[in-house]
Amino acid sequence: MPYIYGIYARALQEYLEVLADGEELPSRRRRNLLLSYAELRYKVHGGSHCEVCNTPVRHVVPVFVERRNGQELNYGCLCTRCLEAEKAVSRKVVLKIGDAVVEHLGSAHDYKVESPHPKLRPMRKVRRAAAG
């Protein structure tokens, strides 16, 4: 068990270092705080699965999406691929844990997309050739 406590202590130390760093811009600091807390939660509780495509997700961060047509959606977590798809087709995407908020505003492009999430399947595992 001492090994597990060492992991928790190191994760907590990284989280506190990000909190103490005051030289960064406020928006960058909030983003680092959010990602550090998500990493701490992963090390303590483990990950989850994307609510759209069921791909394993390491950082479980709730996502609020405001689409261009006015529709509002809440996701428990999204994988990187689905998050980027939402950023591309939505007016606003907000990642929030507690007071740490990261907001992505959509670009001026008005994409004609019938569904931001086509029928996606989880990514296949890639076998790596053994280095010999």
Cα–Cα distance measured from residue 81 to residue 120, given in angstroms and rounded to the nearest whole number: 10
Please state, in angstroms and as integers, the Cα–Cα distance from residue 91 to each residue in 34, 65, 113, following that order. Answer: 21, 8, 14
- Residue 33 is predicted with a pLDDT of 79
* Domain range summary for the chain, segments of one domain joined by +: 2-105
Q: Is the pTM of this model over 0.85?
A: no
Helices (DSSP H) in the chain: which residue ranges? 2-20, 26-45, 80-89
pLDDT band for position 45 (cuts 50, 70, 90): confident
- Residue 49 is predicted with a pLDDT of 92
Could you tell me if 111 and 88 are in contact, meaning their C-beta atoms sit under 8 angstroms apart? Answer: yes
- Residue 132 is predicted with a pLDDT of 46
Q: What is the pLDDT of residues 65-122, one digit of tens each?
A: 998 888 899 999 999 899 998 888 889 999 888 767 788 887 655 555 555 555 666 6
